[in-house]
Structure 1
């Protein structure tokens, strides 16, 4: 049976980052990436990438310009609260919007250049043994990293429960002509109707925008309802073929088990419950998993500790903020405060798009803008 030091299931941002990190930590490590698709391939996503994701990639030796080439920075963000308060400001650091067909192909290409081997294979069976992990009866790994998305085969093989409907969102995404006046501006619109729910329009810089709409599964989401929400929040937008995807939110994130199997990105429910952001979490968790893979049988414990140290406090704060955001009046007050003060706006963006925290400054600002009773 063919043996590899590290096998990564899934070649998206989490899987590519894991392969890069494993090779960087041990240049002699034999790293295999398995993906059921050939690259380039599309992936349903909002395509927005926060600057902090590029920080992680830079730490893996990836020059950001090799990833962003052809896609200009998007320096502004416009947010609309459930009750209609709108604020638009320059973000502390610009984001980029890069179609996943491009982003994923570029990242897995960098991983291959670093010595990882990419193979097209749909993984169907994973069995865990004390000294190895077997994949489809043909490949063994010292450590297996499951970076295979929301419907992760690896997660199911571990017996890890799926997110409950209250911890799971569903969204539709398509591409459409850029909204008038949207050049260089990411747009997120929330709504009190079917709350919590939101629509987005993220410009690619070529006259098109990635547009979509999502809400919690527990709210009785249907395709017709999602399409109606998109039309209602982004009137006049006419996207091409819409595709749906699930978003396992970090409010339902499972505990990383001990042993030789690690879960990264969507496979471990690392999706921001406030914004649906997942690429920063994906590359960060993938990078941490790739390093932890060097611990062999102790990889699970090492990875769990690294994740907790790097993201634990942020995830607690984002969960709390998600719970607080169920009150539309509070969301409205937060955006009023963000409109009045750049620092509060920056706090909100870091919490929703990267690894920020729920600051006293943001809470105090929201309290000042709550309606008096």
Structure 2
């Protein structure tokens, strides 16, 4: 059981490689529907962190694999996100042979948590986090995947059609055939819809607005701020310093709470207005505010058998306590890429599902329990933050649960289980 951020190291099932420059021969891929159809080994829908990790892992294990990544955007491109890169995600990237994804950005080794009732804790983190704009971070990962041998094409995926029989190629956009497809195409995943899996319900879907602002004054050490609020609980604002004079700022809440409290009165105005009210000293730079959905892991679709896999946001892998998703994306992408080149296409879905459960299952069950209790009992978060201000080991445990794959200590788990049972009977 992992209970402290100081114990987290590189994911053991992803061994490091000795060179980051191994390049596989580029696959001959049709340029579009008019070109001759060709079967590729692995087609990745989406070239964000999950998709790039999948390509990197597949080519790490099988350099000759013909990997194609399709993305609707050119890189570099902006992506609405908190830009926080936890050390756990960098562990995965180092194991994949990408040690410099956060190069040039200063580590941020302090975090301040403010609970709705006023309790707060500001303590050095056991391991530093980084704040790297996704425009930079994702472009670096895409470049690393291309250097390893993946083909990256700008193309919007509109259809994903598994074959009628086990082992049949999956047809993408009506012409491109792949032995395995990994859907890493985000919260509005086309791949997920093609599998007959609908979106998260409003109570398991967060909506957030992100902007860029001037960083807080420089007369104190830089720190990541998460400030929770009673309005629409569970909800919070954040301010993460990038190190270049700017900070990534934002505010998020559950879609169900936004609908419940404000109906059709204008969600954008509510999000923008609450962010401005909670961070009055950091007005957003003009033109930087963008909203995005976060499908929370409290409602995860079952990964089906077969040759189509879901990773990252497409698999609802977003921590319901913090909104963290990049670590989950990198880890799940790595596991999907590994399964794609080590298991037959007819069995790859089941193998990947079991790998995900082995690596994240217990952690995800614990975060679901905590999120449910915190949503019903706001004072639970006040008490946790208050206790963490006096107990370093508890703060470390909270960070590991919120940013990595930590679990609830056994003694605390029993008490929380009883509390959930009592709450359910009321």
Q: TM-score range with shorter-chain normalisation? A: over 0.9
Deviations 1:173-229 (A, max 9, x none): 000001235642000000112111000000000110000000000012511111122
Match of 2:207 in 1: 170
What is the alpha-carbon distance in structure 2 between the residues aligned to residue 98 and residue 134 of structure 1? 35
Match of 1:151 in 2: 188
Bigger radius of gyration among the two: 2
TM-score, length-scaled by structure 1: 0.95
Following superposition, the deviation at residue 232 of structure 1 comes to 2.3
What is the alpha-carbon distance in structure 2 between the residues aligned to residue 312 and residue 205 of structure 1? 35
Deviations 1:61-119 (A, max 9, x none): 111xx211221101010000011111100111100000000000000111111111101
Residue 340 in structure 1 maps to residue 340 in structure 2: no
Match of 1:322 in 2: 371
Residue 278 in structure 1 maps to residue 278 in structure 2: no
What is the alpha-carbon distance in structure 2 between the residues aligned to residue 217 and residue 27 of structure 1? 43
What is the alpha-carbon distance in structure 2 between the residues aligned to residue 245 and residue 29 of structure 1? 34
| SS of equivalent to 1:356 | coil
The 1:182/1:136 distance shift into structure 2, 3 A limit, reads farther
Q: 2:242 aligns with which of 195, 204, 216?
A: 204
Q: Which runs of 5+ in 2 are unaligned?
A: 1-36, 260-266, 417-426
TM-score, length-scaled by structure 2: 0.83
| SS of equivalent to 2:283 | coil
Following superposition, the deviation at residue 351 of structure 1 comes to 0.5
Match of 1:28 in 2: 64
Residue 306 in structure 1 maps to residue 343 in structure 2: no
Following superposition, the deviation at residue 359 of structure 1 comes to 2.1
What is the alpha-carbon distance in structure 2 between the residues aligned to residue 260 and residue 189 of structure 1? 42
What is the alpha-carbon distance in structure 2 between the residues aligned to residue 278 and residue 37 of structure 1? 20
The 1:365/1:176 distance shift into structure 2, 3 A limit, reads farther
The 1:43/1:340 distance shift into structure 2, 3 A limit, reads same
Alignment of 1:120-199 (within 5 A): 120-129=154-163, 130=165, 131-180=168-217, 183-199=221-237
| SS of equivalent to 1:187 | strand
Match of 2:123 in 1: 89
What is the alpha-carbon distance in structure 2 between the residues aligned to residue 346 and residue 229 of structure 1? 29
Deviations 1:318-368 (A, max 9, x none): 0001012121211111001100011000000010111011225767999xx
The 1:341/1:291 distance shift into structure 2, 3 A limit, reads same
Q: 2:84 aligns with which of 40, 44, 48?
A: 48
| SS of equivalent to 1:251 | coil
What is the alpha-carbon distance in structure 2 between the residues aligned to residue 365 and residue 156 of structure 1? 39
More strand by share: 1
Contact 1:133–1:142 (Cα < 8 Å) also in 2: yes
| SS of equivalent to 2:327 | helix
Q: 2:401 aligns with which of 342, 346, 351?
A: 351
Contact 1:272–1:278 (Cα < 8 Å) also in 2: yes
Contact 2:232–2:258 (Cα < 8 Å) also in 1: no
Q: Which runs of 5+ in 1 are unaligned?
A: 367-373
CA RMSD of aligned residues (A): 1.5
Residue 263 in structure 1 maps to residue 310 in structure 2: yes
